[in-house]
Amino acid sequence: MTRHFLKDDDISPAEQAEILRIALELKAAPYSRRPFEGPKTVALIFDKTSTRTRVSFAVGVADLGGVPLIIDSQSSQMGGKESVADTARVLERQVAAIVWRTYAHAGLEEMAENSKVPVINSLSDDYHPCQLLADLLTIKEHKSNLAGLKIAYIGDAANNMANSYLIACAMAGMHIALAAPAGYLPDSHIVSRAEAIALQTGGSVQVVSDPRAAIRDADVVTTDTWISMGQEADKEQRIRDFSGYTIDAALMEQAKKDAIFLHCLPAYRGYEVAAEVIDGPQSVIWDEAENRLHAQKALMVWLAQNAH
């Protein structure tokens, strides 16, 4: 069975650790693995805008010996004109993997069901699992290990990043605390799934409304935009609803002295995070952005190894 990576727990905790190990190896020796030698082509499909994901996957595929084919879905037949299933049947005969950034997560599931080559979610409305591999790699680099660390996520806890943090951090045995205003809390089925995983790994899950309670004694502090792609029409309402949830220096004081700050980017200074924090000494956002490359290369190496 072909392995796909549509959500964080499509791999086991042991497999997550193995991918992070390969990522560190590839960061030290970028051209040491060549699964796409040929060169084989990897399709990178974008329904939404992107800077980091587009660059890191294109560079990563090239580093692994392959050719990245960037497809802007607006200029393809996909969508209104041709079904996802038919697109998958065309692509699987010619490419080594399909990486897709889209809206509804169900589209990725349909693509995976109809593809013999691995399908990778490079962001859907529900999950951003590639970002979490990069985030865990960054935390590991700065804190040595993951299990037992406390991570606090303040802001929109109902979005793709919050869902992926819940699942991926629980898999890594971390203690995750989320703080969000009413109406922006994670779905109960995601929280239950994360709790069930945490029970196995020694991690824990806490969902609160008070940002100070969530951030207290955290080793890692993180957030994401209050307005995700596709939510632009609700911008003014959301800015009002998230008032009091900005991560500023005063809030950061509640975390451990040596806490690091992460943000998947793009960031909106003055909204989810103050400039003094994201541009301050605790911020490791540029390491995090670079680690997209190493983590995704590791994922592709691992998927190529595990393709049956």
Residues that bind ligand NVA (CB under 6 A): 123, 128, 159-161, 224-225, 228-229, 264
Q: Binding of ligand CP at residue 222 (CB under 6 A)?
A: no
- One character per residue 127-156, x = contact with ligand CP (rule: CB under 6 A): ----x-------------------------
Phi then psi for 265, rounded to 5 degrees?
70, 150
**Active-site residue (options: 16, 131, 282, 296):** 131
* 16 vs 50 by CB, closer to ligand CP: 50
Q: Binding of ligand CP at residue 296 (CB under 6 A)?
A: no
Structure tokens at 297: 């290369």
Q: Binding of ligand CP at residue 207 (CB under 6 A)?
A: no
**Active-site residue (options: 4, 238, 292, 294):** 292
DSSP per residue over 74-124, as a string? Answer: GGSSBTTTB-HHHHHHHHTTT-SEEEEE-S-HHHHHHHHHT-SS-EEES--
Size of the site for ligand CP (CB under 6 A): 8
* 28 vs 233 by CB, closer to ligand NVA: 233
Q: Catalytic site residue 224?
A: yes
Of 192, 4, 23, which is closest to residue 115 (Cα–Cα)?
A: 4
Residue 160 touches which member of ligand CP, ligand NVA, none, C-beta under 5-8 Å by kind: ligand NVA
Cα distance between residue 87 and residue 80, in whole Å: 12
Of 142, 134, 166, which is closest to residue 291 (Cα–Cα)?
A: 134
Q: Binding of ligand CP at residue 225 (CB under 6 A)?
A: no
* 92 vs 272 by CB, closer to ligand NVA: 272
Of 76, 85, 117, 84, which is closest to residue 103 (Cα–Cα)?
A: 84
Residue 159 touches which member of ligand CP, ligand NVA, none, C-beta under 5-8 Å by kind: ligand NVA
Residue 51 touches which member of ligand NVA, ligand CP, none, C-beta under 5-8 Å by kind: ligand CP
Q: Catalytic site residue 128?
A: yes
Q: Catalytic site residue 9?
A: no
Residue 224 touches which member of ligand NVA, ligand CP, none, C-beta under 5-8 Å by kind: ligand NVA
Q: What is the largest CA-CA distance in the chain?
A: 55
Minimal CB distance to ligand CP: which residue?
A: 53
**Active-site residue (options: 4, 52, 128, 294):** 128
Question: Pick from 7, 33, 40, 52: which binds ligand CP (CB under 6 A)?
Answer: 52
Q: Catalytic site residue 156?
A: no
Q: Among residue numbers 104 through 123, which ones bind ligand CP (CB under 6 A)?
A: 123
Q: Binding of ligand CP at residue 53 (CB under 6 A)?
A: yes
* 123 vs 220 by CB, closer to ligand NVA: 123
Closest distance of CB 204 from ligand NVA, Å: 24
Q: Catalytic site residue 105?
A: no
Question: Which are the catalytic amino acids?
Answer: 101, 128, 131, 224, 264, 292
Question: Using CB under 6 A as the criterion, which residues of the chain lie in contact with ligand CP when the complex forms?
Answer: 50-53, 123, 131, 264-265
